[in-house]
Structure 1
């Protein structure tokens, strides 16, 4: 964070507690000046914590600029554009088939409960309608190849659909991300009227638990292993031929150990056809899923991710998704009965 502070003209006097040295006089001045102002600014930060969290450089930078340059958290009575319930603008969207990024008009409407985009500026009908109920957004700069790259997912025809977008202006992209979180927050406040904000905030948007390449084989274990890109999204393990595919080739449900799901290092001795030697076996009540990793480090990371899920008890609503390849519209985000809205 100190490096970001230093890149802003008015904040260049900031020092890092880990990389810099402090003189006694500087420590004394910091102690005398910081406490009251920090508490005053932090009050606004805490009010906004349901919509923003600092997981990467873009979010950290815009958080710092919002706090110190724009002073958004001091004047909290002023409603910021990203919390107004409506947002309209243009984003560069990756084409599903050709992979080209083209400018597309996006509209986010809390009243309609949807995020829409249009292929043409004057189009009357949207190309896609993404319901806020199933919407998720996560920054993916490395995968998309742009520092402001955002991956948006939603359910379409009971399948997970990926959309990849970016904007040249990092503030614009962060405002879109925050607007999605705000819309999700307001939706869940209505859908789950008995829930506390602390229960709702972690479910506004989520980062994937782990992503990367592994090899996999088919259900009969006689097919050759194929290299696929895997995404672990809570209990959903999705695999793609390419990381930027719009739809997954398949989705595997990972249950809990109470339901006879286990994760084992290695592959059965009779298995052949894999190139990567660091195997993983996931045992379910119905079958075994076999994967292979390129390195031992990747194997350990994947096993740790799977183990965290398997060790977590399942919620009642998750039992609807215990098929091997599932539609995730059956899984509700909270252990609550959803209200019709």
Structure 2
């Protein structure tokens, strides 16, 4: 037996003992990167990497690329153990991620299936992060193509031509193939993209938001080809990355990358009442997008019915559990009160779990000091008619 402290020549057909190289390696991976990987109790014995249960299902769907076994339950022969010991996640990351662009989104185990699958295929199957020329679909600075877009009024998905141009600093779409003028021009400066498969009802569904007259506008798109949709997503991130590099010339990649796109802090239904707090509570879909709390009649509405700016505790914003007495009209029992310098906003949740999740989301925002540019946004909200 080798004297390296690794089990390399385990008898064929045997089940590995509890205290072995596999357990130790998986444990080290879990301790090093719990935000990127769940419990790494599985391994691809053809790629030589440990993976979590969530990603093991993706690996099983691409058997020409990856063959999977359980570290704890399956039998391993000596050759497989030796290969795993000679490779491992660190070595394979150095090989397959040697040329990964800073703007490319690296999914976590909690991201949607599409992002995780396309990351695995890009990394191991297409080898996009080894050969830079394979990154052109999302790094060229210009992209155009046809995507299915949900109609603002009728809710039908129709094909629309989209054009993303870093040089023009905008994403555009056209209602007709031969149209000279775009239906909408979305400035890269205010653009955000987030995958919403459950909300849109399509596994490749992407929600794009931008500001129109300083109010949020939503559009919902998808493409039948998962790679095409993820390429669009990363092209948008690339365009924003290059814009921010110019806007903030002294900023590091570590400062810029978190600003390229953002998932919503929290979404879901709550009830709300009006500013006089005498009218009845109405059920609305709420989205917490950074410091903008928006509410919609329907989750797929193009425009919000209203927006609330959520500032910081230093500026007299706070969240309270419950509703002030003698509030009436709410059907759901679990209240939340948002206190701002100008007024109180009253909401009600159906369950205590939802209430606590919303309060936690509000506390995260309120507990974060406001940036200088956010004061201008706050001032705009205060002067809204």
TM-score when normalising by structure 2: 0.81
State the match for 1:14 in structure 2.
Answer: 68
Which has the bigger relative contact order, CA under 8 A and spacing at least 6?
A: 1
**Alignment of 1:245 onto 2:325:** no
In structure 2, what is the Cα distance between the partners aligned to 1:298 and 1:234? 19
State the match for 1:83 in structure 2.
Answer: 139
State the match for 2:94 in structure 1.
Answer: 39
**Alignment of 1:193 onto 2:246:** no
Q: Are 2:102 and 2:253, in contact at CA under 8 Å, matched by a contact in 1?
A: no
Counterpart selection for 1:301 from 357, 373, 382: 357
Q: Are 1:58 and 1:170, in contact at CA under 8 Å, matched by a contact in 2?
A: yes
**Alignment of 1:183 onto 2:243:** no
1:57-206 → structure 2 map (5 Å cutoff): 57-76=113-132, 79-206=135-262
Query: By how many angstroms is 1:327 displaced?
Result: 9.0
Report the 3-state secondary structure (helix = DSSP H, G, I; strand = E; otherwise coil) of the residue aligned with 2:68.
coil
* Superposition CA RMSD, Å: 1.8
Between structure 1 and structure 2, the one with the greater Rg is 2
In structure 1, what is the Cα distance between the partners aligned to 2:287 and 2:93? 39
4+ residue runs over 4 A deviation: none
**Alignment of 1:311 onto 2:367:** yes
Query: By how many angstroms is 1:22 displaced?
Result: 5.4
State the match for 2:105 in structure 1.
Answer: 52
In structure 2, what is the Cα distance between the partners aligned to 1:20 and 1:208? 38
In structure 2, what is the Cα distance between the partners aligned to 1:275 and 1:169? 43
**Alignment of 1:3 onto 2:57:** yes
Counterpart selection for 2:84 from 19, 26, 30: 30
1:118-155 Cα offsets, whole Å, 9 max, x none, are 11111111111111111110000011000000000011
Structure 1, gaps ≥5 residues long = 329-341
1:54-101 Cα offsets, whole Å, 9 max, x none, are 122111111111111111111135542110011110000000011110
Counterpart selection for 1:292 from 329, 348, 354: 348
Structure 2, gaps ≥5 residues long = 1-54
